[in-house]
Amino acid sequence: MKPINNKKGSIVNKIVLAKDNIDDNPLFNDMSKELREKVIFAFDSGNLQLVEHEGEIILIEPYFSKPRLIILGGGHIAKPLAEFGTKVGFSVVVADDRPSFANPGRFSEADEVICDSFENVFSRLDIRKSDFIVIVTRGHRHDGVCLRNSLSHNTAYLGMIGSKRRVKAMKEELLEEGYPQEQIDSINSPIGLDIGAVTPEEIAISIIAQVISYRRARGKAINKESGMKFNWPEFDEAVVEEMSKDSEVPRALVTIISSKGSVPRKAGAKMIVWLDGRIMGTIGGGCSEASIITIARNTILNNEYTIEHVDMTGQIAEDEGMVCGGIIDVLIESF
C-alpha cells in the first residue's frame, strides 16, 4: 500500500506466505531483513504488524484457523463442554470408543466426532501445536493411553479430569517411566478452575474457563524455540470465505488492525461492506461501526484504502450505551 495524506492510498500488491515452506519462498527471501523479521514475528506471536517501510505502509496479517478443542471421552461432561467450546469459538472434536457416545446426533455442535479406540484415535487427529486437549474418559486405563499420546505433542493446553488420588497415581507412573517432571507439571490435573463445580455443566464451565485462560490471558508459548507468548487473533471464517468469492457489487473489507483497552472485538476481526448497503460480520456494532460503514462506501467509490482511528472511550462509550471503552485502528480497503 502506498500512503497518501491521512493514511490513505491504493493497494499495490498482496502476497500470501505459508510458514511451512517460507524459507524456500522467493517472495519472502527477496524481502528486506526487517520485513522478514516482522513476518516471522507475526507467525510466532499472532500479532498483526503495520510497518512503514521505504515510503510504503505494509500490513502483515497472520491467519490461523480456529483453535481445536479436542475432547477425549464422550460422557456426561463432554456434552456441555462441546457446547460451551463451540460457543466461545473453538472447532470442537470429540472422540470416544463407544458408538452410543461418539455419534453426530449426540454432539451435533461438534465439527468432528470420531468413534475409534483411544489407541487408534491419535493417528486420525493430526495433533497441532495450536490444539487444546481435554481428557475426560471413563477410566484410568483410557486416561493413561490418551495422556501418554498427548504428551508426545507440544500442544497449547493439556488437561485431564480425575480425583486427586487418581491424578497423583498417574503422575507417579509417568515419573517412573522417565517423563520429565517439567512435562508432568504442565498437565492441568485435576482439571479446570476451582469454582466448587458439582454438576456436569458446572464442571464443563470450570474446564472451558481454564482453556480460555490459556488461549487468552495466560498466553502459553506455542513456539518452544522462541518461547514467545501467543496472542490468538480474531478470525472470521465466514467473512474470509465470502471475500474469496466474486461479487458483481463493489465491496470493501474492514479489518481491525490494532486495539487498546476494553473493546468489543480485537485485532483481526473483519466485516464486509457492499456498496448496496449489505454488510457481513461486525467490528463491534454501535455508532462507531455505522460511521465506519459510511467511510467504507466512500472508500469503495474511490477504489482506495484508508486507516481510521476509532475512539470508544469516555463520553463516546457512554453516549452509545457501551459497557466497554477502548480504541481501535481499522483498515478499510476496496476489494
Give DSSP secondary structure letters for 22-71: GGG-HHHHTS-HHHHHHHHHHHHH---EEEEETTEEEEE----PPPEEEE
Residue 138 DSSP code: S
d(CA 178, CA 173): 9
Q: Is the peptide bond before 190 cis (omega within 30 degrees of 0)?
A: yes
The pLDDT value given to residue 221? 45
Spatial distance between the Cα atoms of 130 and 299, rounded to a whole number of angstroms: 36
Q: Is 194 left (phi over 0), alpha (psi -120 to 50) or beta?
A: beta
Checking 174-183 for CB contacts under 8 A at 24+ apart, the result is 174/147, 174/148, 179/151, 183/151
Instruction: Report whether CATH 3.40.50.300 matches the domain 68-215.
Output: no
Please tell me the predicted confidence (pLDDT) of residue 162.
Answer: 86
Q: pLDDT truncated to tens, each residue of the chain (335 aa)?
A: 333 334 676 777 888 898 888 988 999 999 999 999 999 999 888 889 888 888 888 899 998 878 999 999 999 999 999 999 999 989 999 999 999 999 999 999 999 999 999 999 999 999 988 899 999 998 888 989 999 999 999 899 999 998 888 888 889 999 999 999 999 999 999 899 999 999 999 999 999 999 999 987 654 444 445 566 777 788 788 898 998 899 999 999 999 998 888 788 888 899 999 999 999 999 988 778 888 999 999 999 988 889 998 887 754 555 555 545 688 999 999 98
* Encoded amino acid at 99, one letter: P
Backbone angles phi, psi at 246, to 5 degrees: -70, 150
Q: Where are the domains of the chain?
A: 2-63+233-334, 68-215
CB 269 within 8 A of CB 303: no
The pTM of the whole model exceeds 0.75: yes
104, 113 in Cβ contact below 8 A?
yes
